[in-house]
Amino acid sequence: MSPGNLYRYFDSKEAIIAGICERDRSNAARDFDAVDAAPDFFTGLRRLAQYHLVERPAEQLALWTEIMAESRRNPEIAKLLHECEQDVKARLAAMLRRAAERGEISAEIDFEGAAVVLMALADGLSMRRAVQPDFNAETVLPMILHMVHCMLVRPGGTPARETREKVHEG
């Protein structure tokens, strides 16, 4: 379909983006339900991360990159993006709460803060895939999942003495 033909179905660029946001909200709800239905939380999270960070089509990543850029110039798109992200963050935080209630992650977590961190990690890797064609997300995914596991199982965990010293030296 040509770009101009899209406007037979949508009144404006903002309407197209609103449709994309609604589709992604629905997909997020489905994806978070799939994590809840997995044999265990981290298996479900790994599957979700594998799809969104490694297998998701490059065209979808490029489209979201464009929407994020447009949101910096267009207040109406910024509002749509903000509402979509707030909804996804709330659903993600609720998924984390459910995992904590099942005893699969720590109940000491700042669920909203952890949701923001997870979204930032996903955005960063997605952006890297969108702008760097030779970036191999699959090679970094195990490290990302390890970091997330540490964050969710041992929130506020104290790093080893050597790590603390290196951080403070730098």
Domains of the chain in sequence order: 3-169 (1.10.357.10)
- Mention every residue, 6+ apart, whose C-beta is less than 8 A from residue 24: 84, 88
Q: Is the pLDDT of residue 50 over 60?
A: yes
Per-residue model confidence (pLDDT) at position 160: 47
Q: Is the pLDDT of residue 164 over 60?
A: no
- Helices (H), ranges, the chain: 3-6, 13-37, 41-49, 58-71, 75-101, 111-131, 137-153, 161-169
Radius of gyration over every alpha carbon of the chain, rounded to an integer in angstroms: 18
User: Tell me, what DSSP letter sits at residue 157?
Assistant: P
Considering only CA atoms, which of 141, 146, 148 is closest in space to residue 125?
141
Q: Is the pLDDT of residue 18 over 50?
A: yes
pLDDT band at 63 (very low <50, low <70, confident <90, very high): confident
Tens digit of each residue's pLDDT (9 = 90 or more) over 117-161:
999 999 999 999 988 989 999 999 999 999 999 999 986 655 444
DSSP SS3 for 2: coil
User: Nearest 5 degrees, angle CA 140-CA 42-CA 48?
Assistant: 65
The amino acid present at 14, given as its one-letter code, is: E
* pLDDT, the chain, mean: 86
pLDDT band at 15 (very low <50, low <70, confident <90, very high): confident
**Burial (Cβ within 10 Å: 0-12, 13-18, ≥19) of residue 4:** exposed
Per-residue model confidence (pLDDT) at position 167: 46
Q: Is the pLDDT of residue 2 over 90?
A: no
Q: How far apart are CA 104 and CA 118, in angstroms?
A: 17
Q: Is the pLDDT of residue 66 over 50?
A: yes
User: Nearest 5 degrees, angle CA 97-CA 103-CA 109?
Assistant: 45
Q: Are 118 and 112 in contact (CB under 8 A)?
A: no
Per-residue model confidence (pLDDT) at position 12: 78
Q: Is the pLDDT of residue 11 over 80?
A: no
pLDDT band at 5 (very low <50, low <70, confident <90, very high): low
Per-residue model confidence (pLDDT) at position 4: 67
- pTM of the prediction? 0.82
The structure tokens listed for 5 are 């033909």
